[in-house]
Amino acid sequence: MNSKMIVTLMTNLINKKYYATKDDAVAKLDVYFAMSRISDDEYAELVILAEAVYAEASM
């Protein structure tokens, strides 16, 4: 799976709140990042997205 596919998949999962919490979503991103499957920029963008999406749920 290439990084573009991973980013698309994770974007969709985060937007649909597939993970129970932001921490769960970020933990999955951490795995992809640690295994060099996504770049620094892609990781940062997805973490920001997760923070925004899951912040809406707690309001």
User: For the segment 8-32, what is each residue's pLDDT rounded down to a tens digit?
Assistant: 999 999 999 999 999 999 999 999 9
- Looking at the structure of the chain, the number of domains it has is 1
Average of pLDDT values for 26-44? 98
Question: According to the model, what pLDDT value does residue 57 have?
Answer: 57
Average of pLDDT values for 22-50? 98
Q: Tell me the residue range of the domain where 44 lies.
A: 3-58
At residue 59, does pLDDT exceed 70? no
Q: Are 14 and 49 in contact (CB under 8 A)?
A: yes
Confidence at 49, pLDDT banded by 50, 70, 90: very high
At residue 52, does pLDDT exceed 80? yes
